[in-house]
Amino acid sequence: MDMVAAAKPLASLGAAEGEENQGSTMQAGWCERSDCRNAAVISFGKKSYCFDHFCLECYGLLERAEGNSARISSQTSATREEIEALDECAQRALEISLSEIELDNLDRARLLDILLWSGDLTAARRMRRRQASVSVAN
């Protein structure tokens, strides 16, 4: 798979819209995976990744989260950290898809899959948290 790196550092969507940047997401520099020599395109979880390693990190997170969903009973609420990690995964995928990086159809499909899967897991966890807080309040 060909990697296309941005020729210049890119700003996050919030920065592009004039909002305060809450953790720059589009990165210049190199992928922080020790076995990689590709340019970084995004920051995720306090590390910078090339496109392929970003996707691998996201899929790992999503698979763990889905595995946890199978083990979590309906009475156990998701942690805030789980929800925030899934939200960040979706946000970063969206930022890459709207950036100046040239993506082929397979790359776009991977980002859409990450975005939709993150959204499904986040929605399920938020609903569980609301149900848990309602039953505690009663």
Q: What is the CA radius of gyration of the chain?
A: 17
Confidence of residue 75 (pLDDT cuts 50, 70, 90): very low
Q: Which H or E run includes 80?
A: helix 80-97
SS3 content of the chain, % helix, strand, coil (to 5): 55, 5, 40
Ordered DSSP codes for 11-49: --HHHHTTPPPSS--S--SB--STT--SBP-EEETTEEE
Residue 21: pLDDT above 80? no
- The whole-angstrom separation of Cα 12 and Cα 75 is 37
Lowest mean pLDDT among 6-20, 27-41, 62-76, 80-94: 6-20
Are 45 and 23 in contact, with CB atoms under 8 Å apart?
no
pLDDT value of residue 97: 96
